[in-house]
Structure 1
Amino acid sequence: MSHADAHDLDVRVVRTDEQYDDALDVRYAVFVDEQDVPEDLEVDEHEDESVHFVAYRDGDPVGAARLREKDDTTAKVERVAVLREYRGEGYGRAIMREVEAVAAARGYDRVALHAQTHAAPFYDRLDYERVGEEFEEAGIPHVTMEKALESEGGPAGE
């Protein structure tokens, strides 16, 4: 990591309306304003069932993500975003670490995501593997990526 390590960043599971609004502000800035994703695609029918994350630096929201169940063993990571001026500081990695920890704590064995192809090298560095062919989502090229999660403990009963 670079000079701005995870200790500069406060990654939280969203528990209040204010935190959710902060997460949405980051997502809108990145996806709607910067990447021209339509608003109705950015906020979808999965908001209520998702666990949302917001990352603060010095009290300001700078990153966000959400996590939801894909199936009994796999959680899907979505809407991973870091404001443009804070990229390259290790914040995306810190957010993903927290998201993965929550997924593991909830009993999931794997996480999957649809990475924008330009961001795939970021996920490569986090030990995600590409699955299948490139596809388009919201007019942006994506690739499915997956990662096996480390178990928080040994087999049940230990």
Structure 2
Amino acid sequence: MIVKIVATDEQLKDAYYVRRTVFVDEQNVPPELEIDDLENEAIHFVGYDNDLPIAASRLRLVENYGKLERICVLKGFRGLSYGKQIISKMEKVITDKGFTQAKLNSQTHAEEFYQSLGYQTNSGEFMDAGIPHVTMIKTL
């Protein structure tokens, strides 16, 4: 997979396609919650496999940390380390911008995956878009 920082309208459409497929179509997140008013302040990422968009995420630089958001991989491509690759690219952008901490809200079923990448849970469980989540942090 090749991970790109979104630089064109077409790449942004590709990222939104992956996000919509995973979050809206698969997980039943309402479309108005998936695409929100924070899109314009985010750095977007899209992962391609042979020119096919298969992964996406966004990153916001907030206060003193990078906030990883909307991390997703299409169903047929999970378990191939693509999530790890896109997160690695996001973490590099965070450190390149001079930040030393990453934060994310993980769906509880993915908590172990993020723990395997060095993230530590620092909240109790809470609901977001009808899905249980926890907040996790990592020092980079």
1:6-21 equivalent positions in 2, closer than 5 A: 9-21=1-13
Identity percentage of aligned residues: 47
> 1:108: Cα distance to partner?
1.0
**Residue 24 (str. 1) matches residue 16 (str. 2):** yes
| Pairing partner for 1:42 from 31, 34, 39 | 34
Output one character per residue of 1:8-60: Cα deviation in whole Å (capped at 9) or x when no partner.
x1000000000000000000000000000000000001000000000000110
Q: Deviations over 1:68-91 (max 9, x none)?
A: 0221x2110000000000000010
The structure whose Rg is larger is: 1
**AA of the residue aligned to 1:25:** Y
Letter in 1 for 2:46: V
CA distance in 2, matches of 1:70, 1:138: 21
| Displacement over 3 Å in runs of 4+ | none
Stretches of structure 1 that go unaligned for 5 or more consecutive residues are: 1-8, 150-158
Local SS of the residue matching 2:124: strand
SS at match of 1:88: coil
- Number of aligned positions between the proteins: 140
Per residue, is there more helix in 1 or in 2? Answer: 2
Provide the aligned C-alpha RMSD in A. 0.5
1:145 aligns to what SS in structure 2? strand
For residues 69-148 of structure 1, the aligned pairs below 5 Å read 69-71=61-63, 73-148=64-139
Distance 1:146 1:104 in 2: 14
| 2:25 match: secondary structure | helix
User: Any idea what SS the aligned residue of 1:100 has?
Assistant: helix
Distance 1:34 1:25 in 2: 12
The CA deviation string for residues 89-138 of structure 1, in whole angstroms up to 9 with x for no partner, is 01000000000001110111101000000011110000000001010000
For structure 2, the 5+ residue unaligned runs are none
Deviation at 1:66, TM superposition (A): 0.4
Q: Secondary structure at the match of 2:125?
A: strand
TM-score scaled by length of structure 2: 0.99
